[in-house]
Amino acid sequence: MNKNSFIVNDQFNPTIVGIVLRRHWYKPLMFTFAFLTLAFVYLRYKKPVYSSTALLQIVRENKVKQVLGDGNQITPETQNLSKDVELLRSPVLVRAAIESMHLNTSVYNRGRFLTEDLFGVTPFSIITYYLKDSSLCEVPIYISEVNKGTYRLQYSHNNRKKSVAFTPNSKIENEDFSISINANRRDDFARLVSSSQIYFVFNNPSVLLNQLQQGLTITPIDENAKTIEISLSNANPKLCYGLVSSILETYFNFEKKQTQNNNNQTIAFIENQLDSLSMVLDDSKENLYSFQRDSKLPNPEFEEASITKNIGTFSERINEINEEISVVNYVNAKITADASRLEIYKIIPELAGRKLFEGSITRQLEDLNKLLENKEDLLQDVTSESKQIRLINDRISSRINSIRKSMSATSDRLKHEKRLLDNELGKYENKYLTLPEKTMEYNRLKYLEDLNRTYYNLFTEKKIEYQLNNAGYTSENRLLSVPEIPLNPVSPNRKNIVFLAIGFSLFFGLALLLFYYLTYNEITSLSDLKKLLPEEIAIIGTVPLYRKKKMVHSQIVVKDSPKSQLSESVRSIKSNLNFINKDAKLIAISSSISGEGKTFVVLNLAATFASEEKRVLVIDLDLRKPKIHLGFNVDNNVGMSQVLSKLITLEASIQHSGIANLDFITAGPIPPNPSDLIQSPYFHQILEELKLKYDVILIDNPPVGIVSDGIQILAMADIPIYVFKANYSKRVFAGQIQNLFKIQKIDKLNVVLNGVTNNGNLYGYSQSYGGYGYGHTYSGYYSDDIKEPFWKRILFFWKKSKNH
């Protein structure tokens, strides 16, 4: 048996499901009604929120490149969406957008529960000339009609109520403000003011900025496509559209102005640098020209080439002279007095091609060679002492002397020319040695001039580029989706709210039913009770739920319907009692708490015994809450409490019922000490005396789960009976049986399950007594099998669920 005080139904039990549904079927409907009511109230009184959205694509094109080509150095900034996102959501830009909409005032229509913003729908406009006191901001100023064509402004400021009369299209001025309310459609203005509670407020720029910025959402959509979504949520659809459009226009103007300002600042800086560079460039040019004049060095490269060329020319000429001097010396060495014709002949080819020796010297050598040749021819005919030989020798000597003189003169001339060339060569070599120093200085001055010229040209080009960029480089941002006036609100979503309400109602309703199912702690059927009781405990029967009529208190019903299931169940219990102990005279019946039907079982079991010609006595020992007298419809003026108190005799307390062989003793007036009276020895004496007079004595004991008075009676009874009621008795009540069985040592305790419905087991008791008992009913045999009309069954079901 489960000893826990709380049992969770972790297995499916259709009986419990049916009971939970019968008792609590209306609660999910109540949840549904409650949530739908909340949804209706929410949708009815929640301001609808509209949203206007635009999709912006950031694109920047460099039109300067189209003019200057790829050589320009000005390139667009790297497209980073975070910069544009922060600019679009920045308070500076949003404030500028709000200012461009001229939202100095806001007009409202106050209703019973909601206040409507009338931006863009009013037939009038408010022009603010000045506001003297900023504390008047956000103060409602109501417009009311005094008479036709005349109106009044009413407001409270500094704990003072103020009023200003005015006519439309005229200036309204007092100590707080100066405004004008222009109404081109006066009839519409009059109808609006007369039919509604119209007021306006002067907007605090900071408060208005915070309110509108809360509904503004700037979201980068695609980093690659460079797209940004601008969305504004507000209760006024036209305000959503107007502010999104104003933000876009302000963004475009701000970006264009910012780009132009940056370019103008850059151009101003470049012009300042050009002025400075112009003076520096002039100084560097003058320094270079002065150096060239002083050093007579027009161009170091040309000067170096000229010097190198002259040095080469002089060196080459000197080498030629040295070679010619060598030839002269060679000729002088060969031409001697005894020179042979062969030697002279060899000299002539050596002089061939030399301009210096072309002419007289070559001719003289040829003449000398002919003379020598003639001499050799003559020597063949004459001797060397002949006159002819002497004449030729004289002519040879004369020619040799002439050649030697020519060679000497030529040698002198060559040496003089060489000295002159050596002097010139030395001068050019000295110039060449000093040229690097001058070249370095020239290069330094030239570098400074070129550097200054380069910077000057660069800044000039930059100036032109930025001037073109200022005119040609513009933002090409595209609106992929233009803002529109929203027609349908984005919040609250009616379908979602209704579905959510139904969903919550179903969830909580089903969760509540599930909770009731899991925590259902009542005994549902005979099989359920068997699981909770010890195996040694005998279940001697069940009593079906009585449905024919509603009983205010327990009554005898077996006499009126002898063929009913209830009557058969009571007879079955009586038969089981005979099977347990056919000689039993004292039967004590108790339960855990009041209301479980022990009195009903006592009365009908007593009537069943009496129908078999047995003398039966029913004693009401529930001295605190007696009920037997109600079952017999008598007063409770005399009874067992008076007998035990020895105020009256036993015979005086016994009353006769309208049923033969059935007597009863009521409880009597409630005593101050019922426990002492029941446990007194006198009570045992009375029982012994009654056993001699009656065949069966049934005692209606007090509930032992509340008081312990009846435990002793159960222990001394021949057959103690413990009553449970289906769908009423808690499962933990089975623990009382365990207490009586093991602690109080009432080992012959029997159990009856009262109030069993038709779908439960009606009869039966445990296998401790041979397994005898009934497990089902037989349709059509009993009188209460007659099917009632449908409407009566529906009415009975409703009443039963209400009672449960």
Question: What would the two tokens of residue 204 be?
Answer: 């605090």
In this predicted structure, what is the pLDDT of residue 767? 35
**pLDDT mean over 328-345:** 68
Q: Which of 176-185, 441-450, 725-734, 742-751 has the lowest mean pLDDT?
A: 441-450
Question: At which residue do the structure tokens 């063929």 appear?
Answer: 563
pTM of the model as a whole? 0.58
In this predicted structure, what is the pLDDT of residue 68? 45
Q: What CATH number does residue 560 fall under? A: 3.40.50.300
Full 3-state SS string of 576-640:
HHHHHCCCCCEEEEEECCCCCCHHHHHHHHHHHHHCCCCCEEEEECCCCCCCHHHHCCCCCCCCH
Q: Are 698 and 600 in contact (CB under 8 A)?
A: no
**Residues contacting 121, CB < 8 A, separation 6+:** 238
For residue 342, what pLDDT band results from cuts at 50, 70 and 90?
low
For residue 760, what pLDDT band results from cuts at 50, 70 and 90?
very low
For residue 504, what pLDDT band results from cuts at 50, 70 and 90?
very high
d(CA 560, CA 65): 114
Inside any domain, residue 633: yes
**pLDDT mean over 726-752:** 82
Determine phi and psi for 145, rounding to 5 degrees.
-95, 130
Vertex 262 angle, CA 257 and 265, to 5°: 120
Predicted confidence (pLDDT) at residue 5 exceeds the cutoff of 60: no
Pair (317, 441) in one structural domain: yes
d(CA 379, CA 386): 9
For residue 758, what pLDDT band results from cuts at 50, 70 and 90?
low
Question: What would the two tokens of residue 574 be?
Answer: 């009586």
For residue 762, what pLDDT band results from cuts at 50, 70 and 90?
very low
Inside any domain, residue 627: yes
Distance of CA 626 to the CA centre of its chain: 68
Pair (534, 468) in one structural domain: no
List Cα–Cα distances, 63 to 72, 266, 472, in angstroms. Answer: 11, 18, 5
Predicted confidence (pLDDT) at residue 774 exceeds the cutoff of 70: no
Inside any domain, residue 220: no
Pair (579, 436) in one structural domain: no
In this predicted structure, what is the pLDDT of residue 439? 67
Report the DSSP beta bridge partners of residue 698.
587, 618
Q: Domain range spanning residue 532? A: 526-803
Cα atoms found within 13 Å of the Cα of residue 366, Cβ hemisphere only: 10
Q: Are 616 and 574 in contact (CB under 8 A)?
A: no
Inside any domain, residue 491: no
Pair (509, 534) in one structural domain: no
- pLDDT per residue over 251-280, tens digit each? 988 887 877 777 778 878 887 887 877 887
For residue 441, what pLDDT band results from cuts at 50, 70 and 90?
low
Picking from 165, 181, 202, the residue at the C-terminal end of a domain is 202
Pair (647, 733) in one structural domain: yes
Q: Which of 130-139, 440-449, 529-538, 642-651 has the lowest mean pLDDT?
A: 440-449
**pLDDT mean over 706-724:** 86
Average pLDDT, the chain: 81
Using the 8-state DSSP alphabet, how is residue 739 labeled?
I
In this predicted structure, what is the pLDDT of residue 626? 92
d(CA 752, CA 604): 13
Q: Are 751 and 529 in contact (CB under 8 A)?
A: yes
**pLDDT mean over 441-465:** 77
Report the DSSP beta bridge partners of residue 312.
none
In this predicted structure, what is the pLDDT of residue 345? 63
Q: Which of 5-9, 59-63, 708-712, 775-779 has the lowest mean pLDDT?
A: 775-779
For residue 457, what pLDDT band results from cuts at 50, 70 and 90?
confident
**pLDDT mean over 411-432:** 79
For residue 776, what pLDDT band results from cuts at 50, 70 and 90?
very low
389: part of which helix (H) or strand (E)? Answer: helix 387-472
User: How many other C-beta atoms are found inside a 10 Å radius of the C-beta of residue 84?
Assistant: 19
In this predicted structure, what is the pLDDT of residue 759? 52
Predicted confidence (pLDDT) at residue 101 exceeds the cutoff of 60: yes
Inside any domain, residue 514: yes
**pLDDT mean over 502-530:** 88
Angle between helices 494-518 and 26-45 (to 10 degrees): 150
Taking the CA atoms of residue 785, residue 790, residue 796 and residue 802 in that order, the dihedral angle to the nearest 10 degrees is 140
In this predicted structure, what is the pLDDT of residue 304? 63
In this predicted structure, what is the pLDDT of residue 575? 92
Q: Which of 168-177, 326-335, 468-477 has the lowest mean pLDDT?
A: 468-477
d(CA 212, CA 103): 12
Picking from 202, 227, 258, the residue at the C-terminal end of a domain is 202
For residue 475, what pLDDT band results from cuts at 50, 70 and 90?
low
Q: Which of 51-60, 144-153, 276-285 has the lowest mean pLDDT?
A: 276-285
Pair (506, 558) in one structural domain: no
- pLDDT per residue over 211-249, tens digit each? 999 999 999 998 888 899 999 999 999 999 999 999 999
Inside any domain, residue 485: no
User: What percent of the chain lies above the pLDDT cut of 70?
Assistant: 82
Classify residue 784 as exposed, middle or buried by CB count within 10 Å of its CB (0-12, 13-18, 19+). Answer: middle
55: part of which helix (H) or strand (E)? Answer: strand 50-57
Inside any domain, residue 540: yes
For residue 768, what pLDDT band results from cuts at 50, 70 and 90?
very low
Report the DSSP beta bridge partners of residue 654.
none
Inside any domain, residue 89: no
Pair (356, 467) in one structural domain: yes
**pLDDT mean over 431-457:** 71
In this predicted structure, what is the pLDDT of residue 430? 74
For residue 297, what pLDDT band results from cuts at 50, 70 and 90?
low
3-state helix, strand, coil in the chain (%, to 5): 55, 15, 30
Pair (380, 503) in one structural domain: no
d(CA 668, CA 677): 12
d(CA 650, CA 617): 13
**pLDDT mean over 533-543:** 87
List Cα–Cα distances, 106 to 116, 169, 201, 235, in angstroms. Answer: 11, 18, 6, 13
Q: Are 784 and 561 in contact (CB under 8 A)?
A: yes
Predicted confidence (pLDDT) at residue 556 exceeds the cutoff of 70: yes
Pair (463, 558) in one structural domain: no
Q: Which residue has the higher pLDDT, 152 or 525?
A: 152
**pLDDT mean over 708-725:** 87
Pair (452, 542) in one structural domain: no
The number of domains in the chain is: 4
Vertex 397 angle, CA 394 and 399, to 5°: 105
Angle between helices 598-610 and 565-580 (to 10 degrees): 80
Pair (17, 116) in one structural domain: no
**Residues contacting 770, CB < 8 A, separation 6+:** none
In this predicted structure, what is the pLDDT of residue 303? 64
Pair (5, 149) in one structural domain: no
Q: Which residue has the higher pLDDT, 144 or 326?
A: 144
d(CA 278, CA 456): 7
Give the strands of the sheet with 50-57, arranged side by side. 216-222, 227-234, 50-57, 478-481
User: How many other C-beta atoms are found inside a 10 Å radius of the C-beta of residue 497?
Assistant: 19
Cα atoms found within 13 Å of the Cα of residue 186, Cβ hemisphere only: 9
For residue 54, what pLDDT band results from cuts at 50, 70 and 90?
very high
Predicted confidence (pLDDT) at residue 104 exceeds the cutoff of 60: yes
- pLDDT per residue over 381-414, tens digit each? 777 777 777 787 778 787 778 777 877 787 788 8
